[in-house]
């Protein structure tokens, strides 16, 4: 039941969407760095990382690919941790 009537594989579409989200983070980071004239990671970078990572992890689980699963799961931990630091820092700055 993974395919539409016309033969399109849903999971392949999900995989490409995940890859597009994951790749978009680099465009967001590049544009922000160009604007700032230095290397920066905007908060959107971490949101795109998480969205792409979750989508790609779902795809990897469906494919039953342990290498891909471990890679995406590890990455997600790092992305969530970095987003936590960004949010914590903003709350600290607002509390001052």
The answer to whether 78 and 53 are in contact (CB under 8 A) is no
Is it the case that residue 1 has pLDDT exceeding 60? no
Question: Cα(10)–Cα(26) distance, rounded to whole angstroms?
Answer: 25
DSSP collapsed to 3 states, 30-69 = HHHHHHHCCCCCCHHHHHHHHHHHHHHHHHHHHHCCHHHH
The predicted model gives 29-51 an average pLDDT of 95
Residue 77 pLDDT class (50, 70, 90 cuts)? very high
12-37: pLDDT as tens digits = 999 999 999 999 999 999 999 999 99
């Amino acid at each position: 039941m993974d395919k539409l009537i016309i033969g399109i594989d849903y999971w392949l579409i999900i995989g490409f969407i995940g890859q597009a989200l994951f790749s978009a983070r680099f465009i967001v980071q590049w544009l922000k760095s160009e604007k700032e004239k230095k290397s920066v990671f905007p908060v959107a970078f971490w949101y795109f990382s998480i969205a792409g990572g979750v989508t790609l992890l779902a795809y990897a689980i469906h494919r039953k690919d342990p290498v891909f699963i471990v890679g995406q799961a590890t990455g997600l931990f790092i992305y969530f941790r970095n987003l936590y630091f960004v949010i914590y820092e903003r709350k600290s700055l607002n509390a001052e």
